[in-house]
Chains A and B, each alone.
Chain A
Amino acid sequence: MKNKIYKCYFIILIFLFFTFTTVNLFIYGNDFSERENRYLAAFPQLTVQKLADGSFMKEFDSFACDRFVFRNFFVSLKGELERITLKKDNNGIHFGRNGYLIPAFEKNEAIVENNTNALIKLNETGKFSLSVCLVPTANEVKNKELPLFARNGYEKKTLNGVNGALKEKKVKVVEPLKSLLAHSNEYIYYKTDHHQTALGGYYMYESLGEALGYKPLKIESFKVKTLSENFFGTSFSKAGVTGYGPDRLQLFESDVKVTCDQGSFFDYSKLETKDKYAFFMGGNYAVATVTSSVKNGRRLAIIKDSYANNIVPFLANHFETIYMIDLRYFNGDLFEELYKFSVNDILVLQGISTFATDGSLSKITEIINSSAHLKTLGGEVKKGERVEDSYFADAVFIGDSLTDGLKLYAEAGGTFLSNTGISVTGVMSALSANGVSIAEQIKTTKGGKFYIMLGLNDSISSEEEIPAFIKNYGALIDAIKESNPKSPVYIQSLFPVSREREKKGDIKNSVIYKMNDALLKLAKEKNVYFLKVYEAVADDEGYLKEEITTDGVHLKPDNYKDWYNYLKSHAVPVYGEGKTDEIKNARFAGGGKYNPHKLAKALVEGVAFKDKLSEAGINSVKFLYGIEPESLLDGCVMAGGGSTAEEIAIFEFSGKEMKKLVEKKINERIEVKRKAYESYMPQEMAKLENPVVIITGDFAVLCICDNNKEAEKIITQFIKNR
């Protein structure tokens, strides 16, 4: 009888077991586990490959475990059992006093060492102003709440060890521990989460002020807003026990408006989910840009983990732009990114718990070793291997009449956003030679690299004016980087003027060299390249060589090649996604009946031009007039070095449509020139008032000169005699 009962019990057990197994087979549950904040493993794909290497089985094991029926119940059961058996922790979370669940401090010696070395190496590159702040955790700050004997001081030891090693190697270190300990009785860490509360974040922000150069706002100036009274954090999930929490999630609001390019800066929708800390920026991203309404132009890059998310809202009161890079997810070239951001100040802001267990910071070492970007980042480009003409195919040149010359006489490829008289101050409102707004073109042009040569037209006569000039220059660089984040930018030094020219008194070489120094500094700050192109044109005493200049400022046509050669031998490898080789072997369609070159020659000989006009290459038809050379039968453009407005353009074409177009383009060109010379060289405006424009059914001539009558005569004669 008793045996029978015994057996009955077991038969019931076996029945239960099979019922449960069957239920488990058919219930899969949700794909996403709120409690763990992760997607649960899916049923693995069955392939021969996966069977052979065993990955199918491994994935199935994870699947079986992740999707086990009533899993949450079982997980909690385990947590409770640990607590009942007097364990003081579960899954690495201490059951603390006063409702605190405190993560145990863990560290991996090798990781700590590698991360520390990576930061030292980053600092030693000398390219950035680096500050490091490791955020202590509740394990140290709230150690009063730890269970008996759990207080072991290892976190503090690690913090001190790392900070000491960094300081020894001259890395700027921020140590908030003292200040946090002074407030350790306050609610500065969540009880059920490893992060700091808004108040804790405020104290961090206070500690960071000195290193980052801002005066922290008083705590009273923030409006405290309670976001949720029902926050159960990650520690709660991990510990798997009841009787803890919830936490209160608060926000210290200030007046600044902040946006984030990855989504809402404050993501209120997350307050409805389990993961309420993701209220800050919606979580972690590889790269995120935060823009604040504080218009002070300050930029800061933060290499961060989730501890930073709570501190960034405070920093947004002092930085207009904050770039956040999370190296745990970011796998590109860090320096390309920092370059793109034009940022010089870097803050490493990580929880010490992350620093001690996650090796992603040591990616920096790899990047330093492999990044070609770093080698030339932010500074002078030294002479290197000579590049081919094709290097400039996707280059964009921004400049004044000198840059025009580079196009016209050195026949450099690429796009030219240049025009006579353009200054740094005026560049964003100027038109390029073919009459389109430069600002607009910077926005729309996808260049492989950008060359800037501006400043002579800013008429800087004393050192005091330089800072304002540099500020505008910086804005231009920012504008370029905004639209072409991956393309390198070259700042070209200004050319000095010749000894003769300096005597006039309005331009001093001493100021020009001061400007060049300031530009080099700017280049370093913005992490762009600097080219001492004056080396190609200056004599030993620093004056523009007399024999290569027409007016003491501009170069003789042949000498633009010297400059171009300098650019060719001072170029960096490019990693951007610029256009591929697009240099066109441009040519006219051919079959013309006139001989434009003959007319040009006649004009140059017959009309007394002030400047020495030379023939500009065929690309100038497109560059200056916006006409495709292929659509013309023949043509010729003659231009000066930039010291006058003088210019000759002769086009031969066929068809009414083409006539209309050529007429329109010539008029546009005149308009552009007028605008350019209006402020730059008002004395040249006379020539532009009413330049000679003669257009017949298949032939068009523009001649900008002093002697319209003579020019008209020569042209009419030429057309007649054809």
Chain B
Amino acid sequence: MVFSSITFLYYFLPLVSVVYFAFHRFLPNGILFLFSLLFYAWGEPVYVFLMLFSTAFNYLAGLQMEKRGEKGRKFLLWFSVAVNFLILVYFKYAGFLVSIINSVTGLNFEIKELALPVGISFYTFQAVSYIIDVYRKSAKAQKSFINFGCYIALFPQLIAGPIVRYNTIEKQLSSRTLSLEKVIQGITRFTAGLCKKVLIANNIGALWSNLSSLPFSELSTLSAWLGIMAYTLQIYFDFSGYSDMAIGLGRIFGFEFSENFNYPYISKNVSEFWRRWHISLGTWFKEYVYIPMGGSRVKRGRMYFNIFTVWMLTGLWHGASFNFLLWGIYYGILLVIEKTFLLKRLEKCPVFVRSIYTMLAVIFGWVLFASPNLSYALSYLKVMLGFSAAGFADNRFLYALLSNLVVFGAGIAGSMPFAKQLFERLTETEKAKWVTPFLVFAGFVLCTAYLADSTFNPFLYFRF
């Protein structure tokens, strides 16, 4: 199930809230666990058992680990991490690996292409974080299966993060407070995220899918730029909107998740961008991969190796294809360059130069990221660099620009802090107390309009 659907907003959400607030005294996590399973099964009726297996396995591994001596703990750590990653690799990367093996060896292995279980990358990383936290004793093993299931499967962050590290939420699992205050904050945050997703990401995403599906012979250079800029906004508003909704929902049920985005597009260099983009993933890799490998407190050569390992993995985490691998390496290179000399040079540059440099780096990265394959990415880049059969600009570009001016404006304003600051200043005053609730109401209604329109499909050719 996705948040931005009538089913979630007008069936699931009211139901889970009523049941939770009526019975949370008795079994708060049990209710959330059950509803989370329903939430997951709605989209993955079969893979829900895979998730349950993963949950049970890690639960038992955690309990065992606490009983064992140092040797046993170490064995259990590697064993469970291996099992978790084997499952992930099997379901997510098997097809990719086989195609690599085939192309390298010239053999012809065949593998049944499995549908990717939704959210497997997210919950596997959460499970691994639990195992490592218990091993490091930065958290205690969870005695209650329901609480642990609730941690793995909690529907607000189940399918698109943020990736909650176990030690940050351990206490909240056993005791958290509910309050009207939190519910209101949650509703506001959730609605903001919903608007980001439905009103901006979907809208501007339509422009990207429109332009990216054109044959290259009809794609002018400026259209290509407009398209990738639309994608740049779409992916931010989509992903951060989802995180906002997750955080908001979590808050309604009393959880405090850490932030996942912090205005990444205002960054002044790529290193900063990655501290502001998908923070929970970056932190996860830093905590559980980069630092254990020695981080940057090692020899220069080893440090570069560490950086590249982390970034190749980060790339691959996003998807099983060369695009993502290359995208990860691309950032690895940029970060190494920045670390060695560029950051110092940049500091001497004016702010707008730094901003433009960062955004260009990010936008070119998105070309790799958004393309279905490498050859598409290369052709698209060629058009962006001016080699276009359709010329530099055409009517299609002008039309697309004109027609999407408002949503572009909203997107650009929304990805910078000043809009939020302005809003906060406006609503500070006594008289403006109605503004927030009104905007929540209006936002909710408008999102509903867009969602109800999604199956609106006038039948062109009459009823048959």
Residues on A facing B (Cβ under 8 Å) = 2, 5-7, 9-14, 16-18, 20-21, 24, 35-39, 41, 51-54, 57, 60-62, 64-66, 68, 71, 74-75, 77-79, 81, 85-89, 91, 109, 147-152, 154, 194, 234, 237-238, 240, 275, 277-278, 283-286, 305-306, 328-329
Contact = CB atoms under 8 A, between A and B. Distances in A.
A53 B460 CA distance: 30
A86 B464 contact: no
A9 B437 contact: yes
Given A71-B452, A87-B404, A278 B462 contact: yes
A78 B449 contact: yes
Interface stretch (B51-59, B370-378, B440-448): B440-448
Contact of B405 (A39, A78, A86, A240): A86
B180 interface: yes
Contact of B218 (A2, A16, A154, A305): A154
Given A75-B449, A87-B404, A10 B184 contact: yes
A266 B25 CA distance: 68
Interface stretch (B270-278, B307-315, B393-401): B393-401
Dominant secondary structure at the A interface: helix
B458 interface: yes
Nearest to B404: A87
B433 A9 contact: yes
B464 A285 contact: yes
A64 B10 contact: yes
B184 A7 contact: yes
Interface stretch (B40-48, B67-75, B157-165): B40-48
Contact of B459 (A5, A37, A240): A37
Interface residues of B, number: 58
Contacts of A66: 455
Contact of A75 (B11, B187, B456): B456
Contact of A194 (B6, B42, B460): B460
Contacts of B14: 17-18, 21
Most buried by B among A51, A68, A74: A74
Interface of B: 1, 5-7, 10-11, 14, 18, 42-46, 180, 183-184, 187, 215, 218, 394-396, 398-399, 402-407, 430, 433-434, 436-438, 440-441, 444-446, 448-464
A381 to B, nearest CB: 37
Contact of A13 (B437, B451, B453): B437
17 contacts: A10-B184, A35-B458, A37-B458, A38-B463, A41-B455, A54-B44, A57-B42, A61-B7, A68-B10, A71-B452, A75-B456, A81-B446, A87-B407, A88-B403, A148-B402, A149-B395, A234-B459
Contact of B464 (A6, A154, A283): A283
B304 to A, nearest CB: 45
Given A13-B440, A18-B14, A65-B451, A88 B402 contact: yes
A51 B45 contact: yes
B437 A10 contact: yes
Most buried by B among A16, A17, A88, A284: A17
Contacts of B462: 37, 275, 277-278, 283-284, 306
Contacts of A2: 430, 433
Given A64-B7, A75-B452, A75-B456, A150 B437 contact: no
Contacts of B7: 60-61, 64-65
A57 B42 CA distance: 6
Nearest to A306: B461
A473 B403 CA distance: 64
Given A6-B433, A78-B450, A78-B453, A36 B187 contact: no
A475 B10 CA distance: 66
Most buried by A among B180, B441, B453, B457: B453
A194 B399 CA distance: 21
Contacts of A54: 43-45
A6 B451 contact: no
A111 to B, nearest CB: 13
A61 B407 CA distance: 27
Contacts of B463: 37-39, 275, 283
